Structure 1
Amino acid sequence: MQKGTDFLYLQLADKIAQLIEKGVYAVGDRLPSVRELRQEHGVSISTALQVYAQLEKKGWITARERSGYFVQPNPRQRAQLPAVTAPAAAPVAVKVNEQVRRIREGRRQKGLVALDAATPAAALMPQHKLHKAMLHAIRRHSASCVPYHDVSGYEPLQRLIAQRSLTWKDAVTAADVTITNGCLEAVSLCLRAVARPGDTIAIESPTFFGLLMTIESLGMKALEIATDPVTGICLDKLENAFRKKKAAACLLVSNYNNPLGSCMPPAHKQALAQLLQRYQVPLVEDDAFGDLHHGPDRPDNIKTYDSEGLVLLCSSFSKSLAPGYRLGWAIAGRYRHKVEQLKFMTSIHTSLMPQLAIHSYLEHQRLDLHLKQLRHALALQTQQMANAIQQYFPAHTRITRPEGSFNLWVELGPHTDAWELYRLAMEQRIAIMPGTLFSSQPRYRNCLRISAGLPFNEDMAWAVQTVGRLAKRMN
């Protein structure tokens, strides 16, 4: 049992978990309803709901629409994690655009069940409040939106973003923030500021195909570094690349890497900041998923420990608030003026209206409350998806266990061809993401990224069961 100082719902959740573990409630058994739990323990409906939400988050139970809560397999019997990756230690030209084109063409089909959706469901976003914020911005600033605007962005919004830096070693001001068209433009501008065509960029392996496409479009090479599915990039391998002068710069997702979901511990981030300083290698840090932690505290970024302006931090509101607004930013440290120059040459400035709307929302609404609800939903959906994969996929499937975001890296048997599985799944109108998209090397052909950004309903459960059945046939 939890200590008496803990919340009552945690005590009750712990008690029920013990009963499940002892076999009092067997796998598949239906638990008492919320009202029955309320009456039995003399708690409020709100507390009873928190009890079941906690048990569901921990993987003990699952909710079935209009049926109740049911016991799942013991979470201590979870699938194994994928092993630390071992890419070839040589720079290569990136060629993923053709694979991405194939995926984009397939996504044009209507009626797909999206196991590949790397953005939270629109219903999880504060759509009505954002609409009000946009109307407020239009009424208040209608004349301001017609002319060109400042290249670095809307200063009041820059100031709100800069306020996030209060705990950093080198706190920033509004002038240090450059507003961009989403996080990918921020990454592209920063890479162009620190490297040239033909240069090599050190990256995690695997990593987001959008970052690989950016490297490819800039005519740069990728050096994949071994990565742990829990703690992120292996610092000894990265330092070895620095020592041999193999990399002109780094490009990392330190918080909840896409697709692995890995998150570098604070000590690793601090050590990496020291490595960057020692070898004078710049780092472009993509922190788009940092606000989507499942636990109570947001993880630091590497920029937190940067005292020399070598870390160029990129992020956006796309995963946490308003994907369609395409609003991101770069805090580029010593490279700020270069990034602003490149921004002007690329798009002159970011559209003012989305900036005004987001600023209005942040000024008049509680972003922290929205993020709390969003994180709870995504944590639950991610756990539900992981449970379903473990239940329906082949027995020796390996699955990551991210503590933030909503992406799962799934490693199937060595003889499974993920592109063939993709083809078979698309015949059933199910979209998945083959693992080869996430590497510049011919790797991860037996891996998938499955995302839990959408609510886990009967369609999603059917899709996971179907893909699992197809995968078993291929083993």
Structure 2
Amino acid sequence: MNIKGNQFLYLQIADRLEKQIIDQVLKAGDKLPSVRMLCREQGLSMSTVTQAYYELESRSLIETRPRSGYFVSLPPVKRLAIPETSNPSVLNSPLSPDDLVNQVYLDREDPNNTLFSLGMPHDDFLPIAKLNKGMVQAMRNLPASGTGYELTQGNENLRREIAKWSFGWAADFTEHDLITTSGCMNAISYALMATTQPGDTIAIESPAYFGILQLAKSMGLQVLELPTNAITGIELEALKKVLATNKIKVCLFVSNFNNPCGSSMPDEHKREAVRLLEHYHIPLIEDDIHGDLYFSKNRPTTCKTYDESGLVLYCNSISKTLAPGYRVGWIAPGQFKDQVLKLKRYQAVSSVSLTSEVVSTFLRNGRYENHLRKLRQSLHHNSMKYSAVIADYFPEGTRVSQPQGGYFLWLELDKNIDTVELYQRALKQQISIAPGRMFSFQSQFDHCMRLSFGLPWTSLLEKKLQQLGKIATNMQKP
């Protein structure tokens, strides 16, 4: 075995075995060499081989079967082309996705619908029993059982634990840097109110999360959609050009595992974007709600990591990772802390004491990281399963994103397939999707759609995904 460099030995072994799986040298169902056999053949220690197999399990590539050993668990995914870099017009568009968004949200009312449309963790992925115990404990520990107002800045225990958590991606927050909010969208709302006035123009990715589009519209803001690569996120050259016009008041980016296309800005792009914005003294609102849902070895950094001037307003929550209904979020507003505190005092007075305390306890005792490890593994497993079905059952020429975290696949179909019509046909079969028209004020994504892989993988789910592919195939014109 030719081992090079300073990388941990077990990771090099895991990478080599992963390559064999991708190259179909090892196929689905094949049994891997036993730990003892690999130790004997390669001259390795048992701990090294065991760690390598654990790493492959965490990547959802192999599985252990009691008394049988380790087996390849997934067929290699056919490599479909990724969606093209978006090319939005620089002109404002009167189109609005509001009606379509409202219609898709109503699909939740029918429990028989398969909701590929909405990005949230399924109940099966959440530690509900442990959260319930944490709620009881919080009621015992908090003054007056949590019925009183807390400080406007938010639960001190929670802010302290978030600050500790940020050490993992070099943000180096302190509890004084943070303000708790009612979820991430509430944090983004405060950030926009603190940095803009009606009529101002904000720059965002394209496609963009429809919630951000709706929020900007409700605040009377103009939205400039920027070209976005499905892998590396915002195109920096396009950003440079619009910043030079002096028409942009604020930028709003989802830097890690963008919703809907799953793109992530490389570290050097994040650093360069922050440098550019500091040069023009333009604030950046960063939505990092999916940052903890990474499939690789390490959590990605953020734009806030490279912020030296306090112009980055960092927003996050546990709505996509732990408890959507708890509405626990936070913002690190940098230079704009006083403005955000005033806005929260005017509009909310304080956050919910009980849920904030439960989340702080989860962070403090290590339960959150243990839960995230399982959730990331499930989501990674799902993303690969979805991609395999899409490759086999969707129309020829379908492009699909390759996210390295988060909840979403972004599909680009033949331009003659209208995904609103596809949505309507699929809903008759109790399948709900998110048509591409929801993610822009322009008509550039009418042949695209977003699929959430935040549902437990079952044979029924697989059949529904296959059925969706067949419906799309039947719509493709010869």
Does the alignment reach a TM-score above 0.5? yes
Q: State the match for 1:54 in structure 2.
A: 56
Question: C-alpha distance in 1, partners of 2:259/2:284?
Answer: 17
Q: State the match for 1:177 in structure 2.
A: 178
Q: State the match for 1:429 in structure 2.
A: 430
Question: C-alpha distance in 1, partners of 2:185/2:91?
Answer: 25
Shift of 1:140: 1.7
Question: C-alpha distance in 2, partners of 1:88/1:12?
Answer: 45
Question: C-alpha distance in 2, partners of 1:370/1:134?
Answer: 17
Q: State the match for 1:237 in structure 2.
A: 238
Paired residue total? 465
Contact persistence 1:256–1:262 (CA under 8 A)? yes
Gaps of 5+ in 1: none
Deviates more, 1:306-315 or 1:349-358: 349-358
Deviates more, 1:104-113 or 1:228-237: 104-113
Alignment of 1:197-236 (within 5 A): 197-236=198-237
Alignment of 1:127-206 (within 5 A): 127-141=128-142, 143=144, 145-166=146-167, 171-206=172-207
Shift of 1:54: 3.2
Q: State the match for 2:414 in structure 1.
A: 413
Counterpart secondary structure, 1:224 = strand
Deviates more, 1:357-366 or 1:51-60: 51-60
Alignment of 1:91-102 (within 5 A): 91-92=92-93, 95-102=96-103
Q: State the match for 1:440 in structure 2.
A: 441
Contact persistence 1:202–1:247 (CA under 8 A)? yes
Shift of 1:246: 2.4
Shift of 1:141: 1.7
Gaps of 5+ in 2: 41-45
Question: C-alpha distance in 2, partners of 1:390/1:219?
Answer: 42
Shift of 1:441: 1.2
Shift of 1:50: 7.7
Question: C-alpha distance in 2, partners of 1:144/1:236?
Answer: 53
Question: C-alpha distance in 2, partners of 1:11/1:168?
Answer: 26
Counterpart secondary structure, 2:377 = helix
Deviates more, 1:161-170 or 1:305-314: 161-170
Shift of 1:408: 0.4
Shift of 1:345: 1.8
Alignment of 1:280-319 (within 5 A): 280-319=281-320
Alignment of 1:360-379 (within 5 A): 360-379=361-380
Shift of 1:369: 2.2
Distance 1:73 1:335, change over 3 A: same
Question: C-alpha distance in 1, partners of 2:311/2:18?
Answer: 50
Contact persistence 2:189–2:215 (CA under 8 A)? yes
Distance 1:42 1:302, change over 3 A: closer
Distance 1:234 1:141, change over 3 A: same
Shift of 1:187: 0.3
Tell me how large the CA RMSD over aligned residues is. 3.2
Deviates more, 1:396-405 or 1:158-167: 158-167
CA deviation string 1:399-456 (max 9, x = no partner)? 0001111210000001001011101111111111101101111220110101111122
Counterpart secondary structure, 1:193 = helix
Contact persistence 1:94–1:216 (CA under 8 A)? no
Question: C-alpha distance in 1, partners of 2:366/2:253?
Answer: 31
CA deviation string 1:102-134 (max 9, x = no partner)? 112233222111222311222222222211111
Contact persistence 1:394–1:471 (CA under 8 A)? yes
AA at the equivalent of 2:207: P
Shift of 1:271: 0.6
Contact persistence 2:60–2:380 (CA under 8 A)? no
Q: State the match for 2:43 in structure 1.
A: none
Distance 1:346 1:24, change over 3 A: closer
Counterpart secondary structure, 2:142 = helix
Counterpart secondary structure, 2:248 = coil
AA at the equivalent of 1:297: N
Distance 1:166 1:38, change over 3 A: closer
Q: State the match for 1:31 in structure 2.
A: 30
Question: C-alpha distance in 1, partners of 2:405/2:18?
Answer: 25
Question: C-alpha distance in 2, partners of 1:331/1:261?
Answer: 23
Contact persistence 1:79–1:399 (CA under 8 A)? yes
